[in-house]
Structure 1
Amino acid sequence: MSAGAIVALAGVVALLAGLALYERGRSGSREIGLVAVLIAAASAGRVLFAAVPGAQPVTAIAIIAGIALGPRAGIAVGAGSALVSNAFLGQGPWTPWQMLLWGLAGLAGGLLAPALRRSRGALVALGVTVSLVFGALMDVWQLSAFGPALTVTAFAAVHVRAIPFDLAHAIATAAILGLAGPSLIALVDRSAVRVRGRWITAPEPES
């Protein structure tokens, strides 16, 4: 089995584990419907901006989902957005790895939610970090799947060529989270209130 196949298989296993945790959580049909709406929004945005390499909203929306709805929902939104948008942009061996990485973006948003709700700066910093790490790990996957050999030199060569795309990804994520992140989190919070039937108190973010 090639290194690329092993990486893809590991991604699928990790993804299925995350989705299983989500299904075992106390998620009613209406909350799953809210997750589906976020997946649709992220997927539509990615397809709409496909002509601008790297610029897409999936990372930001996955993080927002994790903050507002919890880690399991963040995983589901990130992974589901990759799968759905690739139905339009092209499925391939890269899909499981994208699903894993965007799922982890949602997980990070959920685990760090208290700090991210308090600070807009922390929210933007996480978005930029996740975007750049996403690009670097996709470069690792590309080398492991298609070659040449996964070495430091080969990674550096591939990564340098990908820097413009990674920067576009990071800038788009930072713009969404910096300009609209708190408002979008509040919007999902209000939707969750109606779905779950309870109030969610969100502190005002610092500038």
Structure 2
Amino acid sequence: MFHKSKAVFYSRLLFVFILIGVFLTLMMLLHNKHYLMFSFMVLLCSILPAYWKFEKQPLTTQTLMFVAILIALAVAGRVPFAALPSIQAASFVIIVGGVSLGPELGFVTGSTTALVSNMFMGQGPWTPWQMFAWGLMGLSAGLIGMTKLKKSLIFMIIFGGVWGFLFGWIMDLWYALQYVSPMTLKSFILAFASSALFDLYHGLSNIVLIALLYRPWEKLFTRLDRKYRFLPTKQNKGMD
């Protein structure tokens, strides 16, 4: 029964990724027109896994409020540092939120953070790609949160550092596909290499924040959940 539910989860997740891929491709074919519409399409896709998981066990008000608070914290951790490229706390909040809430709500937290924060920093054709990148970050953190690896600070530090580069590579892919012409192997590599320093800054900021704050935040969430029970049941067992 467990393996069957796991297979269903991954098959549904694959469907969501394919759907997002279709929307991102359509946006590029339309020369980035209607990017805001496609942003909301990506947001809808990110909500689907959570809807499927909780259709028989509705989310509590406390859980929804906690998700909203995490999104607000992630936005607050990004906007003030807009003048410092790739130096922000949004990714740290998304990672910790994903570990605590699980892959489905981690996906929602990440994608919504990009959409909401860009209301302050500026919307554009990059928004749906940022939504996908941060959503994937929250989802993968949620998968880690279902294992014992979340207890290893060293692993989480490495995880955050790697995601600093993965996020940048996803955005580099958008830039290369949209703006690099002619598309050759050399120009493709140069498009990725040009942002290497910013990706390094992103990875280092994740590493520092996780090293300093991951343990305190995890303990805080555990204590608050014992009192208010706002985390999904499966995650409670993993964190107690």
| TM-score computed with the length of structure 2 as normaliser | 0.75
Q: Does 1:54 align with 2:86?
A: yes
* Structure-2 change in CA distance of 1:36 and 1:2 (3 Å): closer
Q: Which has the larger radius of gyration?
A: 2
Asked if the contact 1:66–1:109 (Cα under 8 Å) also holds between the matched residues in 2, the reply is yes
Q: CA deviation at 1:147?
A: 2.7
Deviations 1:91-125 (A, max 9, x none): 01111110111011011111111233221011011
Deviations 1:73-93 (A, max 9, x none): 211111111011100000011
* Structure-2 change in CA distance of 1:196 and 1:43 (3 Å): closer
Secondary structure, in 3 states, of the residue corresponding to 1:181?
A: helix
Count matched residues.
203
- Supply the distance in 2 between the matched residues of 1:151 and 1:192 (Cα, whole angstroms): 52
Deviations 1:124-155 (A, max 9, x none): 11111111011011111012122324432122
Asked if the contact 2:165–2:203 (Cα under 8 Å) also holds between the matched residues in 1, the reply is yes
Q: Does 1:82 align with 2:114?
A: yes
Asked if the contact 2:75–2:117 (Cα under 8 Å) also holds between the matched residues in 1, the reply is yes
Asked if the contact 2:27–2:38 (Cα under 8 Å) also holds between the matched residues in 1, the reply is no
Q: Does 1:22 align with 2:59?
A: no
1:151 pairs with 149, 166, 184, which one? 184
* Structure-2 change in CA distance of 1:121 and 1:11 (3 Å): farther
Show the 5 A alignment for 1:108-147: 108-113=140-145, 114-147=147-180
Asked if the contact 1:131–1:173 (Cα under 8 Å) also holds between the matched residues in 2, the reply is yes
Q: CA deviation at 1:179?
A: 1.2
- Supply the distance in 1 between the matched residues of 2:238 and 2:104 (Cα, whole angstroms): 20
Partner of 1:35 in structure 2?
Answer: 67
- Supply the distance in 1 between the matched residues of 2:136 and 2:176 (Cα, whole angstroms): 21
Q: Does 1:64 align with 2:92?
A: no
Amino acid aligned to 1:16: L
Question: Which sits farther off after the overlay, 5-14 or 153-162?
Answer: 5-14
Instruction: Return the structure number with greater relative CO, CA threshold 8 A, min gap 6.
Output: 1
Q: CA deviation at 1:55?
A: 0.8
- Supply the distance in 2 between the matched residues of 1:149 and 1:58 (Cα, whole angstroms): 34
CA RMSD, 1 decimal: 2.6
Asked if the contact 1:117–1:182 (Cα under 8 Å) also holds between the matched residues in 2, the reply is no
Partner of 2:128 in structure 1?
Answer: 96
1:189 pairs with 222, 237, 240, which one? 222
- Supply the distance in 2 between the matched residues of 1:46 and 1:27 (Cα, whole angstroms): 27
Q: Which runs of 5+ in 1 are unaligned?
A: none
- Supply the distance in 2 between the matched residues of 1:115 and 1:12 (Cα, whole angstroms): 34
| TM-score computed with the length of structure 1 as normaliser | 0.86
Q: CA deviation at 1:157?
A: 1.3
Amino acid aligned to 1:202: M
Amino acid aligned to 1:167: L
Q: Does 1:168 align with 2:162?
A: no
Amino acid aligned to 2:221: V
* Structure-2 change in CA distance of 1:183 and 1:3 (3 Å): same
Partner of 1:5 in structure 2?
Answer: 28
